[in-house]
Structure 1
Amino acid sequence: MISIKDLTKVFKTKDQDVLAVDKLNLSIDKGEIYGVIGYSGAGKSTFIRLLNRLEEPTSGEIELNDQNLTGLSKSKLRVARQEIGMIFQHFNLLWSRTVFDNIAFPLEIAGVPKQKRESRVNELIDLVGLSGRGKSYPSQLSGGQKQRVGIARALANNPKVLLCDEATSALDPETTDSILDLLVDINEKLGLTIVLITHEMHVIRKICHRVAVMESGKVVESGDVLDVFLHPKEKVTKRFVDQVMGDPDRENSLDVINENYRAGEVIQLHFVGENTNQALISDVSRRFAVNVNILHGKITQTQKGAYGTMLVQIDGEETEVKQAIAYMKTTSVEVEVSPDV
């Protein structure tokens, strides 16, 4: 669907050249929700603007449905862009136009006849949950409603790809969840490919199938969301995972735990999918002469299933503790002794 090869963007200034995107390579499948996450300055906003050539790449290629977008003339690019919708952090609505007229705007530019235009706009208003608000102006809408208008407008020309540039960053948590639910609904109903950039792991966790982690213009880690949650390799990825799993000070927490629970072995357990319901702790306590003390735990949901982590202290005779840990490792629960930070 989307193939990105050695994509590079250098911004030239009077003082220096700034490498915003550095030989980035990605492949995004048709119909998936692909997340790109990174902190400020990682290059993610530049990356998504390169995808529809709002920014011109310095080098590299972007292919959409086997068409090389980087090689298109301006006239052909205008046609190709009709297959790419985009929504923005601050909505970018036309404040002098009603909801109906905002959504109709790209159809007007494309020369769609009035009757077809009206039919399409009404269809989109219903799709995004704004029935009855067609005559309202942006100033009369909440932040979530404004973003729904932005989504409807982006879908006006029946695009194959929807680009989301920090689409929920200006919204409160409850409204963010409602917009994310809408994006999932659109993805499933229309088979739309969605590329979403964010600095919030909650967004990735809730709706994305796969994720790429960006740092200093590069993709430093990528894969299925559940796999990345389970096995974050890079320090920046671990920080993002800790956003969701509730321990942003993981390193300090582990130091405190190791200092205060020296009498027993401290281990970290990873539960996936149905394993989150597994009664492992009580099972171990019955089988072995050990005491199991739960220090910390949390379960969260991803598109691919539930994921949970738990820190426990196992205390008892050394032989019994070793046997208990060995038994845990034979189950489908992943066991990490003296977990790395």
Structure 2
Amino acid sequence: MISIKSLSKIYKSKHNEVKAVDHLNLNIKNGEIFGVIGYSGAGKSTFIRLLNRLEEPTEGEITINGKDITKLGSRSLRKERQKIGMIFQHFNLLWSRTVLENISFPLEIAGVPRDERKKKVLELIKLVGLSGRENYYPSQLSGGQKQRVGIARALANDPDVLLCDEATSALDPQTTDDILDLLVDINNKLGLTIILITHEMHVIQKICHRVAVMEGGKVIEQGDALDVFMHPKEKTTKRFVQQVMGPEQDQAFIESLIKSYESGKVVRLHFVGESTNQALISELSKTFDININILQGNITQTQEGAYGTLFVHLDGTNEEIEKAINFISKTSVEVEVQSYAE
């Protein structure tokens, strides 16, 4: 468990002060992928650098594995930092060193014997999918390959926690997905906790178990990723969700659907988790004497399950339509009637 209590970072100058992180409180579970999302200036990058004291907090506590790292002296801090790996947006590789030598660097600092270092590094190279490129230099690698080196280097000391500061924002969409898949694989195989900073909701959607939304140095919303996608409360969170799902359908859109049909009912079906895999539409058409038109819909997948909304038009007798709606309401799919036959 990582416990963060009343964490603050204030930058002061002669004429003013900036609260980059403002009394932030979070609990992060062992072994989970926890996302922190926010727009530029939200304080998220400062926050992640506070976790390993690359930035010194103004006040607050950061407890990792039972130790408050804000109270550690320099020698103890160096030891604890070996348990906290970090990967960066722009890779931060040593350009005069090969892949093997870059990954080996933290082991050299830790005083690991040469033969043991090489064995460990070759295992990591295989883990991140860079076998055959041991002797390449960073200039010979693609962006995704450079980030794989960064990930392997961050794992060299067998950390308990991996911090990712905008680790995919410099990559193209396909490479981003490949790196995210790698992080999920590492999380599953090694069981380490991953804290991921991003401004892209796609990243949260794809791999995070839980998420916190930052704005103005504060956490304004947090929860399970699926719950945040389904029920965003804050304006900023809704904007992020729209990056993936598109704009929320307004009343004018719903009324336009209703006016398109003179009979039957327009209903909104809300699918959550396993219910998205149900062949509901097919089952309705086979069971009841109704016609079904799919009008509009969107379903997306998160690490915690899928969710989505579907607008459909049900046409038939009022009795058959009511039977169909009652049938739906007994499943895990939420149903909301938008219009009634006249």
Indicate the residue corresponding to 2:332 in structure 1: 332
Indicate the residue corresponding to 2:190 in structure 1: 190
Question: Which ranges of structure 2 fall in alignment gaps of 5 or more residues?
Answer: none
Post-superposition offset of 1:313: 4.8
TM-score normalized with structure 1 length: 0.89
Amino acid corresponding to residue 112 of structure 2 in structure 1: V
Post-superposition offset of 1:154: 0.4
Indicate the residue corresponding to 2:166 in structure 1: 166
Could you tell me how far apart the structure 1 residues matched to 2:112 and 2:231 are? 49
Amino acid corresponding to residue 294 of structure 1 in structure 2: I
- Paired residues in the alignment total 335
Moved more, 128-137 or 222-231: 222-231
TM-score normalized with structure 2 length: 0.89
Tell me which of 235, 258, 262 is aligned to 2:255.
258
- In structure 2, relative to structure 1, the CA distance for the partners of 1:147 and 1:12 (3 Å cut) is same
Could you tell me how far apart the structure 1 residues matched to 2:277 and 2:128 are? 36
Moved more, 13-22 or 124-133: 13-22
Which secondary structure does the structure 2 equivalent of 1:136 belong to? coil
Could you tell me how far apart the structure 2 residues matched to 1:123 and 1:71 are? 35
Could you tell me how far apart the structure 2 residues matched to 1:256 and 1:233 are? 21
Could you tell me how far apart the structure 2 residues matched to 1:269 and 1:154 are? 44
Amino acid corresponding to residue 248 of structure 2 in structure 1: R
5 Å-filtered alignment, 1:268-307, equals 268-281=268-281, 292-307=292-307
- In structure 2, relative to structure 1, the CA distance for the partners of 1:239 and 1:312 (3 Å cut) is farther
Residues 106-146 of structure 1, C-alpha deviation per residue, up to 9 Å, x if partnerless?
11111222121122111111111111111111000000000
Residues 274-294 of structure 1, C-alpha deviation per residue, up to 9 Å, x if partnerless?
311334445566778876543
- In structure 2, relative to structure 1, the CA distance for the partners of 1:317 and 1:239 (3 Å cut) is farther
Q: Determine if the alignment matches structure 1 residue 238 to structure 2 residue 235.
A: no
Contact 1:213–1:220 (Cα < 8 Å) also in 2 = yes
Which secondary structure does the structure 1 equivalent of 2:101 belong to? helix
Indicate the residue corresponding to 1:81 in structure 2: 81
- In structure 2, relative to structure 1, the CA distance for the partners of 1:53 and 1:297 (3 Å cut) is same
Could you tell me how far apart the structure 2 residues matched to 1:209 and 1:298 are? 21
Question: Which ranges of structure 1 fall in alignment gaps of 5 or more residues?
Answer: none
Could you tell me how far apart the structure 1 residues matched to 2:41 and 2:319 are? 51
Contact 1:230–1:270 (Cα < 8 Å) also in 2 = no
Contact 1:271–1:334 (Cα < 8 Å) also in 2 = yes
Indicate the residue corresponding to 1:90 in structure 2: 90
Residues 288-332 of structure 1, C-alpha deviation per residue, up to 9 Å, x if partnerless?
887654332122222222222213356788898777656544431
Amino acid corresponding to residue 261 of structure 1 in structure 2: I
Indicate the residue corresponding to 2:40 in structure 1: 40
Could you tell me how far apart the structure 1 residues matched to 2:41 and 2:337 are? 35
Contact 2:257–2:266 (Cα < 8 Å) also in 1 = no
- In structure 2, relative to structure 1, the CA distance for the partners of 1:141 and 1:322 (3 Å cut) is same
Indicate the residue corresponding to 2:55 in structure 1: 55
**Percent of aligned pairs with the same residue?**
70
- In structure 2, relative to structure 1, the CA distance for the partners of 1:170 and 1:325 (3 Å cut) is same
5 Å-filtered alignment, 1:82-121, equals 82-121=82-121
